[in-house]
Amino acid sequence: MSSTVAPSGLAHPAPATGGEPAADVVQVYDTTLRDGAQQEGMNLSVADKLAIAVLLDELGVGYIEGGWPGAIPKDTEFFARAAKELDLRHARLAAFGATCKPGADPAEDAQVRALIDSEAPVVTLVAKSDIRHVERALRTTPEENLRMIADTVRHLVGLGREVIVDAEHFFDGYRFDPEYALRCVRAAFDAGAATVTLCDTNGGMLPDWVAAVVGEVRGATTGRLGMHAHNDSGCAVANTLAAVGAGVRHVQGTVNGYGERTGNADLVTCVANLELKLDREVLGGAGLQEASRISHAISEITNISPYGRQPYVGASAFAHKAGLHASAIRVDPDLYQHIDPVAVGNDMRMLVSEMAGRASVELKGRELGFDLTGQGELLGRVTQRVKDAEAAGYTYDAADASFELLLRDEIDGRRPRYFEVESWRTFVEHRPGGGNPTDAEASVKLRTGRGRVIATGEGNGPVNALDDALRRALVGTYPEIEEFALTDYKVRILDSQQGTDAIIRVLIETSDTVRSWSTVGVGPNIIEASWEALTDAMAWGLLHNGVEPR
Query: In the window 403-442, what residues touch a copy of itself (CB under 8 A)?
Result: 421-432, 438, 440
Is residue 351 a contact point for a copy of itself (CB under 8 A)? yes
CB 11, min distance to a copy of itself, A: 28
Is residue 175 a contact point for a copy of itself (CB under 8 A)? no
Whether the CB-CB separation of 236 and 266 falls below 8 Å is answered with yes
Which of 81, 218, 492, 544 forms a contact with a copy of itself (CB under 8 A)? 492
**Nearer to a copy of itself (CB atom), residue 142 or residue 311:** 311
Which of 355, 411, 475, 547 forms a contact with a copy of itself (CB under 8 A)? 355
Is residue 212 a contact point for a copy of itself (CB under 8 A)? no
Which of 7, 19, 87, 136 forms a contact with a copy of itself (CB under 8 A)? 136
**Nearer to a copy of itself (CB atom), residue 6 or residue 99:** 99
Whether the CB-CB separation of 349 and 314 falls below 8 Å is answered with no
Q: Taking CA 227 as the corner, what is the angle to CA 222 and CA 233, rounded to the nearest 5 degrees? A: 140
**Nearer to a copy of itself (CB atom), residue 40 or residue 409:** 40
* CA–CA dist 33, 43 (Å, integer): 10
**Nearer to a copy of itself (CB atom), residue 8 or residue 513:** 513
Select from 8-16, 189-197, 307-315, 446-454 the region that touches a copy of itself (CB under 8 A): 307-315
Residue 113: DSSP 8-state: H
* CA–CA dist 20, 125 (Å, integer): 26
CB 326, min distance to a copy of itself, A: 11
Is residue 317 a contact point for a copy of itself (CB under 8 A)? yes
Which of 94, 527, 539, 543 forms a contact with a copy of itself (CB under 8 A)? 527
Question: Which residue, 154, 140, 46, 59, is CA-closest to 105?
Answer: 154
Which of 499, 513, 514, 548 forms a contact with a copy of itself (CB under 8 A)? 499
Other CB atoms closer than 10 Å to residue 98's CB: what's the count? 21
Question: Which residue, 347, 374, 359, is CA-closest to 322?
Answer: 359
CB 342, min distance to a copy of itself, A: 15
Select from 54-62, 104-112, 282-290, 316-324 the region that touches a copy of itself (CB under 8 A): 316-324
Whether the CB-CB separation of 206 and 193 falls below 8 Å is answered with no
* CA–CA dist 426, 527 (Å, integer): 8
- Residues in 51-110 that interact with a copy of itself by CB under 8 A: 72
**Nearer to a copy of itself (CB atom), residue 380 or residue 427:** 427
**Nearer to a copy of itself (CB atom), residue 15 or residue 311:** 311
**Nearer to a copy of itself (CB atom), residue 162 or residue 441:** 441
Which of 395, 477, 519, 535 forms a contact with a copy of itself (CB under 8 A)? 395
Pairing relationship of beta strands 349-350 and 92-98 according to DSSP bridges: unpaired
* CA–CA dist 4, 61 (Å, integer): 8
Which of 10, 487, 515, 550 forms a contact with a copy of itself (CB under 8 A)? 487
**Nearer to a copy of itself (CB atom), residue 13 or residue 333:** 333
Select from 5-13, 17-25, 299-307, 356-364 the region that touches a copy of itself (CB under 8 A): 299-307
The H-or-E segment that residue 451 falls in is strand 451-459
**Nearer to a copy of itself (CB atom), residue 223 or residue 345:** 345
Select from 116-124, 140-148, 202-210, 282-290 the region that touches a copy of itself (CB under 8 A): 202-210
Is residue 516 a contact point for a copy of itself (CB under 8 A)? no
**Nearer to a copy of itself (CB atom), residue 89 or residue 338:** 338
Question: Which residue, 67, 63, 97, is CA-closest to 80?
Answer: 67
Whether the CB-CB separation of 16 and 22 falls below 8 Å is answered with yes
Is residue 141 a contact point for a copy of itself (CB under 8 A)? no
Is residue 308 a contact point for a copy of itself (CB under 8 A)? yes
Whether the CB-CB separation of 196 and 167 falls below 8 Å is answered with yes
CB 91, min distance to a copy of itself, A: 23
Angle, helix 207-220 to helix 236-245, in steps of 10 degrees: 30
Taking CA atoms, 378 is separated from 77, 278, 382, 385, 410, in Å, by 61, 45, 6, 11, 7
Which of 36, 67, 263, 521 forms a contact with a copy of itself (CB under 8 A)? 263
**3-state SS assignment for residue 235:** coil
Total binding residues for a copy of itself by CB under 8 A? Answer: 125
Q: Which residues contact 377 (CB under 8 A, 6 or more apart)?
A: none
CA 92 to chain centre: 22
Q: Give the burial string for 452-468 (b: 16+ CB within 10 Å, else e).
A: ebebebebeebbbbbbb
Which of 18, 219, 335, 546 forms a contact with a copy of itself (CB under 8 A)? 335
